[in-house]
Amino acid sequence: MLREDKQLLVLTHLSQLLNLITGLGGLIVPLVIWLTQKEKILGMDEQGKDILNFQISLFLYSIACIPLIFLFGLGVLLLILVGLIMLIFPIINAIKVSNGEIPNYPFTINILK
Protein backbone atom coordinates (compact mmCIF):
# COMPACT_ATOMS: atom_id res chain seq x y z
CA MET A 1 0.00 0.00 0.00
CA LEU A 2 1.34 3.42 -0.97
CA ARG A 3 1.48 6.14 1.64
CA GLU A 4 1.45 9.89 1.05
CA ASP A 5 4.60 11.77 2.03
CA LYS A 6 4.73 15.31 0.63
CA GLN A 7 7.83 16.14 2.67
CA LEU A 8 9.90 13.42 1.00
CA LEU A 9 8.63 14.50 -2.43
CA VAL A 10 9.58 18.11 -1.67
CA LEU A 11 12.99 16.96 -0.42
CA THR A 12 13.48 14.93 -3.60
CA HIS A 13 12.81 17.98 -5.76
CA LEU A 14 15.07 20.19 -3.65
CA SER A 15 17.85 17.60 -3.62
CA GLN A 16 18.53 18.56 -7.24
CA LEU A 17 20.10 21.75 -5.93
CA LEU A 18 23.02 19.62 -4.75
CA ASN A 19 24.31 19.98 -8.32
CA LEU A 20 25.27 23.53 -7.44
CA ILE A 21 27.49 22.26 -4.61
CA THR A 22 28.72 18.82 -5.61
CA GLY A 23 28.23 18.56 -9.37
CA LEU A 24 26.57 15.14 -9.46
CA GLY A 25 24.71 15.08 -6.14
CA GLY A 26 21.61 16.50 -7.76
CA LEU A 27 21.38 13.39 -9.92
CA ILE A 28 22.57 10.74 -7.47
CA VAL A 29 20.44 11.70 -4.45
CA PRO A 30 17.10 11.83 -6.35
CA LEU A 31 18.05 8.56 -8.06
CA VAL A 32 18.65 6.82 -4.72
CA ILE A 33 15.44 8.24 -3.22
CA TRP A 34 13.45 7.22 -6.29
CA LEU A 35 14.88 3.69 -6.41
CA THR A 36 14.26 3.05 -2.71
CA GLN A 37 10.87 4.78 -2.32
CA LYS A 38 9.06 4.48 -5.68
CA GLU A 39 6.94 1.56 -4.49
CA LYS A 40 6.28 3.04 -1.04
CA ILE A 41 5.39 6.72 -1.59
CA LEU A 42 2.38 7.89 -3.59
CA GLY A 43 3.57 9.86 -6.64
CA MET A 44 7.26 9.08 -6.15
CA ASP A 45 7.54 6.90 -9.26
CA GLU A 46 6.20 9.55 -11.63
CA GLN A 47 7.91 12.51 -9.98
CA GLY A 48 11.18 10.63 -9.59
CA LYS A 49 11.20 9.83 -13.30
CA ASP A 50 10.42 13.47 -14.10
CA ILE A 51 13.30 14.64 -11.91
CA LEU A 52 15.77 12.19 -13.41
CA ASN A 53 14.66 13.02 -16.96
CA PHE A 54 15.11 16.71 -16.14
CA GLN A 55 18.59 16.17 -14.72
CA ILE A 56 19.70 14.02 -17.67
CA SER A 57 18.27 16.60 -20.09
CA LEU A 58 20.14 19.45 -18.40
CA PHE A 59 23.35 17.42 -18.56
CA LEU A 60 22.86 16.79 -22.29
CA TYR A 61 22.08 20.48 -22.90
CA SER A 62 25.23 21.46 -21.00
CA ILE A 63 27.35 19.10 -23.09
CA ALA A 64 25.78 20.49 -26.28
CA CYS A 65 26.72 24.04 -25.19
CA ILE A 66 30.44 23.27 -25.04
CA PRO A 67 31.08 23.35 -28.82
CA LEU A 68 28.88 26.44 -29.07
CA ILE A 69 31.30 28.36 -26.84
CA PHE A 70 33.57 28.67 -29.85
CA LEU A 71 30.69 30.05 -31.92
CA PHE A 72 30.57 33.70 -30.86
CA GLY A 73 30.35 32.75 -27.19
CA LEU A 74 26.79 31.54 -27.67
CA GLY A 75 27.52 28.48 -25.55
CA VAL A 76 28.36 30.63 -22.53
CA LEU A 77 24.97 32.34 -22.69
CA LEU A 78 23.23 29.00 -23.06
CA LEU A 79 25.18 27.53 -20.12
CA ILE A 80 24.05 30.46 -17.98
CA LEU A 81 20.46 29.79 -19.09
CA VAL A 82 20.81 26.08 -18.23
CA GLY A 83 22.20 27.06 -14.82
CA LEU A 84 19.23 29.33 -14.13
CA ILE A 85 16.80 26.62 -15.18
CA MET A 86 18.67 24.17 -12.93
CA LEU A 87 18.22 26.55 -10.00
CA ILE A 88 14.66 27.81 -10.57
CA PHE A 89 12.57 24.80 -11.57
CA PRO A 90 13.40 22.48 -8.66
CA ILE A 91 12.35 25.24 -6.24
CA ILE A 92 9.14 26.01 -8.15
CA ASN A 93 8.22 22.33 -8.32
CA ALA A 94 9.01 21.73 -4.64
CA ILE A 95 6.57 24.53 -3.80
CA LYS A 96 3.98 23.04 -6.16
CA VAL A 97 4.30 19.61 -4.53
CA SER A 98 3.98 21.08 -1.04
CA ASN A 99 0.77 22.79 -2.16
CA GLY A 100 -0.62 19.56 -3.64
CA GLU A 101 -0.15 20.67 -7.25
CA ILE A 102 1.39 18.62 -10.05
CA PRO A 103 5.02 19.57 -10.81
CA ASN A 104 6.17 20.28 -14.35
CA TYR A 105 9.68 20.32 -15.78
CA PRO A 106 9.82 22.03 -19.19
CA PHE A 107 12.56 21.35 -21.76
CA THR A 108 12.74 17.73 -20.57
CA ILE A 109 13.63 14.81 -22.81
CA ASN A 110 11.62 11.79 -21.67
CA ILE A 111 14.27 9.11 -21.39
CA LEU A 112 12.74 7.19 -18.47
CA LYS A 113 9.10 6.40 -19.11
Amino acid at 19: N
Domain contains 104: no
Give the pLDDT confidence of 71-107 residue by residue, as tens digits.
878 889 999 999 999 999 999 999 999 999 999 999 8
Give the pLDDT confidence score for residue 92 in this predicted structure: 97
Judge whether 50 and 103 are in contact, CB under 8 Å.
yes
Q: Is the distance from CB of 97 to CB of 13 less than 8 angstroms?
A: yes
| Domain-located, residue 111 | no
54 within a domain of the structure (yes/no): yes
Whether residue 37 is contained in a domain is answered as yes
Q: Let me know if residue 113 belongs to a domain.
A: no
Task: Provide the domain limits for residue 90.
Answer: 6-98
**Hey, what's the torsion of the CAs at 108, 24, 14, 82, to 10 degrees?**
-40
The number of domains in the chain is 1
Residue 9 is predicted with a pLDDT of 96
Structural domain includes residue 109? no
pLDDT, one tens digit per residue, over 4-37 is 999 999 999 999 999 989 988 889 999 999 999 9
Q: Is residue 50 part of a domain?
A: yes
> What digits encode the pLDDT tens for the residues 41-71?
999 999 999 999 999 999 999 999 989 888 8
- CB-based contacts of 83, cutoff 8 Å, min separation 6: none
Positive or negative, the CA dihedral 85, 90, 95, 96 is positive
Q: Is residue 47 part of a domain?
A: yes
